[in-house]
């Protein structure tokens, strides 16, 4: 029975890896359409791990309320492969510069910034977490680590109004907006444009790769969202307010994670790699040329 179980785990693990390779090679996933991306926001997971932030000591405070950190819902696939690839952790580097993940030390990296949106300044908090994608030398290449994350832009009351996903195997740029922001947009701009579901979305012909997946309820107090993550692909299937009904059956394990400043990644030399240039500069831009990305891609009210 032990041999059978080990073989089953190996089969499931390599099935997951092959799926990721196919997605990376062909630029798409199971959810290749806008309709598919929105459909998966309603999916329910079976068994999950729930990751929650450790409440830091005062001298280690990140500079924002700990309740603004995300609660991460990691799907656990049947067969046990989740233990191999679905636990994010602390990033390290060996003497050759190869990156590794210490999954015994769950870590979410954060970065604070501010953005000028049409004359009003809004706080932003970015979160990154990293997975070990396993030993892929069997496939003739070294994929290394996988990265996922979100960036939240707050409204004038400090509630998350816009949340961008770091990446998705569909290659769409996926965003979530608060129900309050969408309602304000409807009041100003009216009904959605042709081919769009939400009023906040701009013309589909001009921006076919930009998708607002769903609107998120606004809770009684500002807080980070529930982030639902699919096993193997690490795609974020949906974001939910903490006030909304959960979309999973059971929790296998409650896990505490550390919040560390993103500068910790520079210690392992990650800022000198093409990976970091894409993730930290393009996806989470700090340059003047990218500061109006939200204005160009969403119909934002003058004030929110």
**Does residue 182 lie within any of the structural domains?**
yes
Tens digit of each residue's pLDDT, the chain (304 residues): 433 332 332 223 323 433 343 333 334 344 578 999 999 999 999 999 999 999 877 656 788 889 999 999 999 987 655 556 789 999 988 887 778 899 999 999 998 888 889 888 999 999 999 998 765 433 334 446 888 999 999 999 999 999 999 889 898 999 999 999 999 999 999 999 999 999 999 999 999 999 999 999 999 999 999 999 999 889 999 999 999 999 999 999 999 999 999 888 888 766 544 444 444 444 444 444 455 789 999 999 998 9
pLDDT the model gives residue 200: 98
**Does residue 68 lie within any of the structural domains?**
yes
Report the distance separating Cα 201 and Cα 84, nearest Å: 38
82 alpha-carbon distance from chain centroid? 18
**Does residue 159 lie within any of the structural domains?**
yes
**Does residue 303 lie within any of the structural domains?**
no
pLDDT the model gives residue 21: 34
Burial 74-90 (b: 16+ CB within 10 A, else e): bbbbebebbebbbbbbb
pLDDT the model gives residue 80: 59
Run of H or E including 101: strand 99-102
Task: Tell me 252's DSSP state.
Answer: E
pLDDT the model gives residue 272: 46
Report the distance separating Cα 158 and Cα 149, nearest Å: 20
Report the candidate in 297, 298, 179, 163 with the shortest Cα–Cα distance to residue 236.
163
pLDDT the model gives residue 271: 57
Report the candidate in 88, 60, 85 with the shortest Cα–Cα distance to residue 72.
88
Structural Rg of the chain based on CA atoms: 19
**Does residue 304 lie within any of the structural domains?**
no
* Count of structural domains within the chain: 1
| Domain boundaries, position 190 | 2-297
pLDDT tens, 204-224? 999 999 999 999 999 999 999
């Amino acid at each position: 029975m032990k041999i059978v179980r080990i073989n089953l785990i190996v089969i499931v693990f390599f099935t997951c890896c092959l799926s990721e390779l196919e997605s990376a090679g062909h630029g798409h996933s199971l959810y290749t359409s806008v309709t598919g991306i929105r459909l998966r926001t309603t999916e329910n997971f079976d068994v999950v791990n729930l990751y929650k932030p450790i409440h830091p000591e005062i001298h280690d405070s990140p500079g924002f309320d700990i309740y603004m950190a995300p609660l991460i819902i990691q799907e656990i696939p049947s067969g046990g492969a989740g233990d191999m690839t679905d636990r994010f952790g602390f990033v390290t580097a060996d003497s050759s510069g190869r990156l590794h993940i210490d999954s015994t030390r769950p870590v979410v990296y954060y970065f604070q910034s501010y953005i000028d949106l049409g004359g009003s300044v809004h706080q932003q908090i970015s979160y990154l977490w990293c997975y070990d994608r396993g030993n892929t030398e069997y496939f003739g290449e070294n994929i290394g680590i996988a990265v996922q994350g979100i960036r939240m832009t707050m409204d004038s009351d400090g509630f998350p109004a816009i949340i961008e996903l770091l990446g998705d195997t569909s290659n769409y740029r996926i965003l979530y907006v608060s129900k309050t922001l969408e309602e304000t947009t409807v009041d100003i701009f009216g009904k959605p444009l042709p081919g769009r579901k939400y009023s906040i979305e701009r013309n589909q012909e001009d921006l076919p790769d930009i998708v607002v997946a769903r609107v998120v309820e606004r809770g009684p107090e500002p807080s980070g969202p529930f982030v639902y993550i699919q096993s193997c692909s690490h795609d974020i299937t949906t974001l939910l307010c903490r006030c909304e009904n959960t979309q999973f059956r059971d929790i296998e394990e409650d896990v505490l994670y550390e919040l560390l400043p993103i500068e910790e990644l520079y210690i392992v030399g990650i800022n000198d790699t093409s990976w970091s240039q894409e993730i930290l500069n393009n996806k989470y831009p700090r340059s003047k040329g990218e500061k109006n990305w939200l204005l160009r891609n969403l119909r934002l009210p003058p004030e929110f």
